[in-house]
Structure 1
Amino acid sequence: MRHYLLLLASTLLFLGMNRPAAGSMELAINDIEHNYGTLWIGLYASEEAFLDKDQAHLEAIKVKDFKEKRIYLNDLDYGDYAVALFHDLNNNGELDVNWLGVPEEPFAFSRPISSKWRLPKFSEVKVGLYQSHKTVSTNLKTWWDQ
């Protein structure tokens, strides 16, 4: 009987060691200027998935109900992530751009972008989640304010 208990304990310990560690990301969103529309938040776990709507973990939050200005993304495996978000002022589900492709609605990434003249790369805006809790603070800005 003691051998079975030892085997069971060893198996559970082995299974627990193989499970990737998980944490939570707190996203603090600053500079929300309007109390209407929807905040669209996309979480991306790789360069290949970055800015691909079909590969994102998406959250949509009505701004009028968004009192705390914080989003909690829980049970994330440790690793690198990038966050892209925009304030959908007219609730059409898309980031509106003008005829030149310049965004007309406020947007932000998990880290400040180095150039407003191109989309950032995953490696430029990624943040590492390698602890149980990570806070990422970002500021919504229009393209003109970047």
Structure 2
Amino acid sequence: MRHNPKSLNLPLFTGLLAFGCSALSADLQIDISNAKQSNGLVYFALYDSAESYEEREMREGAISTESDTPPSAVFTGLPPGDYAITVYQDVNANRKLDTNLIGIPNEPYGFSQNAMGAMGPPDFTAAAISLSADDETQVINIELRN
């Protein structure tokens, strides 16, 4: 019986490809400080470029603040690159960031690098963190402001 050598290498190549791809990703853990204990949620948004940050195209999630443990979230399987994270705590559980008449948040909020903008949110470069392929898990802390 004759074997085609190319077909024998396919499982090996597929296995190496899968192993190689997993080595090119990392996890990003976001720890939040100064969260108020409430019935609301802490909302996270992860942006992978200045364009996605400006267009509000993001991966997002939410976590409860009912426990005594500070909120934390993990984004898994991220490719190396620059990321910006925005966070806000929905204290009154109405599923939105409440602001005053001129748009200043009335609820706790924060950005990666604890960046602040002069008139509005900081730009992507001010809030960006770099995630490399060498990072198995990178932990950042965001302090909520109000």
What TM-score, normalized to structure 2?
0.81
* CA apart distance, 1:68: 4.8
Aligned pair partner of 1:36 in 39, 53, 57: 39
The one-letter code sitting in structure 2 at the alignment partner of 1:33 is K
Aligned pair partner of 2:141 in 132, 137, 143: 137
Give the equivalent residue in structure 2 for 1:90.
92
Contact conserved, 2:38 with 2:91, CA < 8 A, in 1? Answer: no
The one-letter code sitting in structure 1 at the alignment partner of 2:29 is E
* Structure 2 counterpart SS, 1:50: helix
* CA apart distance, 1:79: 1.3
* CA apart distance, 1:8: 3.3
Tell whether 2:58 aligns with 1:50: no
CA-atom RMSD, angstroms?
2.6
Structure 1 gaps of 5+ residues are: none
The one-letter code sitting in structure 2 at the alignment partner of 1:58 is E
* Structure 1 counterpart SS, 2:114: coil
Contact conserved, 1:51 with 1:84, CA < 8 A, in 2? Answer: no
CA distance in 2, matches of 1:76, 1:66: 29
Q: Percent identity?
A: 23
Offset from partner CA, 1:78-118 (integer Å, 9 cap, x none): 21111001011111211111111111111001112243432
Give the equivalent residue in structure 1 for 2:21.
19
Tell whether 2:71 aligns with 1:69: yes
* CA apart distance, 1:66: 7.0
* Structure 2 counterpart SS, 1:138: strand
* Structure 2 counterpart SS, 1:49: helix
Contact conserved, 1:44 with 1:51, CA < 8 A, in 2? Answer: no
Give the equivalent residue in structure 2 for 1:117.
119
Structure 1 pair 27/66, CA: closer, same or farther in 2 (3 Å)?
farther
CA distance in 2, matches of 1:66, 1:77: 32
Contact conserved, 2:88 with 2:110, CA < 8 A, in 1? Answer: yes
Where do 4+ consecutive residues of structure 1 move more than 6 Å? none
* CA apart distance, 1:65: 4.5
* CA apart distance, 1:14: 6.6
Paired residues, what number?
141
